[in-house]
Structure 1
């Protein structure tokens, strides 16, 4: 087995994997980013113990506890007992953070930072609308925004979501339950902000006009792009996960009048090389160890159930983050 393989590349770290989280894999995106391969690396968010390090590795030594995200073009999957990873993709795991939490939070943490720090600038007194706040990503985004002093509004897609969001501490300013399709999100947000609108919106997909692809939730729960533009404040930031967002001249005109921006949240971009990724990952771990981040995780699953879990994740049917425990 790979356990006995020596570390051949100078910058590689050999890790005994303790936990590995599963995220939806955008197969089309991978092929567009020229990563077409027979095997897709699944389970790219891993936490584990260092067994051995390459000759040029400077940050880690055997027995260190680490966590990281395997790059898109990784030959490895995290779903194995032992993985070889370039040291650039790893950070130290704080001792008191459990393996499952480390693996289960690292990606959502990276996404939340990307959305709230790099694409928009969250700060005290701003209002942030997090769509689908009860999702694993939504939860971490809410916690990061609140920690930065922002006021958070969130949408709930079901009664369970609504109850979950209402129990969050510190509390969100308003939970908008869109499950019956009768609530006007834009109206609720304008009311909550005294008519000024929301400074930052993180969507979880939007309705365009075309029939929805299967990667989204029930389409009637998604806001129309027009609603989002309506509820944005002057100088507001709309951070979208909608890779085929189509804006018409009237939409653009309205954004122009508000001096608003639209940014695209593609968390894979960081993996293409960014030294600041490491700083973010370290910060995510620190917030986990201080309980600022309290992730939305499912019960950990043993390795032999990984295939079933991955199918659920790939169909977008998991409402909590799936983590495999070794």
Structure 2
């Protein structure tokens, strides 16, 4: 059986992807499930994170978001039976590539897949759904009546945040780096329920666009937003071409209201004393979004499985697309 693996480059050279033969053991572990993979999502490998958590491998398996059918279960598995349709995210130290035809995985990383939800759809959206739940529920403690600013709402992660927030009665503002994405965001409508726009205001951030701070304060009556979620930020004033469309860290802190919460995906965020002072004056806070924390630690495995289950149920109901 063949699977796709990646060998990390030792210098600035590109990483090498290879197809390798893999063999599954004859006997399953006590809590393991053997799954025939129907679809697999491809997400980037974070080589630095994998190294930092102590995983030392020459070849790392590629493809971790999987959906498939249970073929066989271990002697102590209680959650699944053969022929059950399941979906989940393989752990960082998984021996199997999600692109193998058949894989072995612990039952604690899987949940039941609703029958009417396609395997391709759920495998492609699961990671962004987990990120959105982690950002809005776990970190920001989102509640009805809050105001949320999503940076680059047209990205897959941004779209999940927008839909999840609107479902819970949150007013959503978002930014757009291009006129095409702005039109797309302004035309977003829920697939069920009242067909009001999902986004209260789309703030363009491309050339010649209005200032982000003034637009947010205008929309919130000068109070600022309760939650800001970004995918990346610009740390310095002299940015390169790729960073010109990214929000500056000071702008994000400025648009926060009193008691606001900033959830960032920037791994190496550095806050200067003036930034910290502004956060202190607003009694605001910052959280770091690491989507791997759920599978890297078993401390909150029950909550993680609840999140996975809720994501697939909302996808099956049409709340998340």
When normalised by structure 1's length, the TM-score is 0.85
Instruction: Output the CA distance in 2 between the equivalents of 1:210 and 1:59.
Output: 52
Aligned Cα RMSD in Å?
1.7
How far is the alpha carbon of 1:212 from its aligned partner?
6.7
1:51 equivalent to 2:75? Answer no
How far is the alpha carbon of 1:167 from its aligned partner?
1.6
Q: Greater RCO between the two (CA within 8 Å, min separation 6)? A: 1
Contact 1:7–1:53 under 8 Å retained in 2? no
Q: Deviations over 1:283-316 (max 9, x none)?
A: 001100110001xxxxxxxxxxxxxxxxxxxxxx
Partner residue of 1:278?
305
Partner residue of 1:150?
170
Instruction: Output the CA distance in 1 between the equivalents of 2:60 and 2:313.
Output: 30
1:106 equivalent to 2:126? Answer yes
Give the 4+ runs in structure 1 shifted more than 6 A: 210-213
- 1:164-313 equivalences in 2 (<5 Å): 164-170=184-190, 171=197, 172-180=199-207, 182-209=209-236, 218-272=242-296, 273=298, 274-275=300-301, 276-294=303-321
How far is the alpha carbon of 1:80 from its aligned partner?
1.2
Partner residue of 2:141?
121
In 2 relative to 1, CA 187–90 (structure 1 residues): closer, same or farther, beyond 3 Å? same
In 2 relative to 1, CA 269–205 (structure 1 residues): closer, same or farther, beyond 3 Å? same
Instruction: Please state whether the residue corresponding to 1:267 is helix, strand or coil.
Output: coil
How far is the alpha carbon of 1:8 from its aligned partner?
2.5
The worse-fitting range, judged by mean Cα deviation, of 38-47 and 224-233 is 38-47
Partner residue of 2:26?
6
- Which of residues 40, 53, 56 in structure 2 aligns to 1:33? 53
How far is the alpha carbon of 1:79 from its aligned partner?
0.9
Partner residue of 1:97?
117
Q: Any unmatched runs of 5+ in structure 2?
A: 2-21, 191-196
Contact 1:7–1:14 under 8 Å retained in 2? no
Instruction: Please state whether the residue corresponding to 1:218 is helix, strand or coil.
Output: helix
Instruction: Output the CA distance in 1 between the equivalents of 2:68 and 2:27.
Output: 16
How far is the alpha carbon of 1:211 from its aligned partner?
7.4
Instruction: Please state whether the residue corresponding to 1:111 is helix, strand or coil.
Output: helix
How far is the alpha carbon of 1:28 from its aligned partner?
1.4
Count of residue correspondences: 291
Q: Any unmatched runs of 5+ in structure 1?
A: 295-326
How far is the alpha carbon of 1:3 from its aligned partner?
8.5
How far is the alpha carbon of 1:218 from its aligned partner?
2.1
The worse-fitting range, judged by mean Cα deviation, of 159-168 and 233-242 is 159-168
When normalised by structure 2's length, the TM-score is 0.87
Instruction: Output the CA distance in 1 between the equivalents of 2:126 and 2:174.
Output: 22
- 1:121-140 equivalences in 2 (<5 Å): 121-140=141-160
How far is the alpha carbon of 1:130 from its aligned partner?
0.7
In 2 relative to 1, CA 157–7 (structure 1 residues): closer, same or farther, beyond 3 Å? farther
Q: Deviations over 1:248-281 (max 9, x none)?
A: 1111010000000000000111112222100000
How far is the alpha carbon of 1:4 from its aligned partner?
7.6
Contact 1:243–1:264 under 8 Å retained in 2? yes
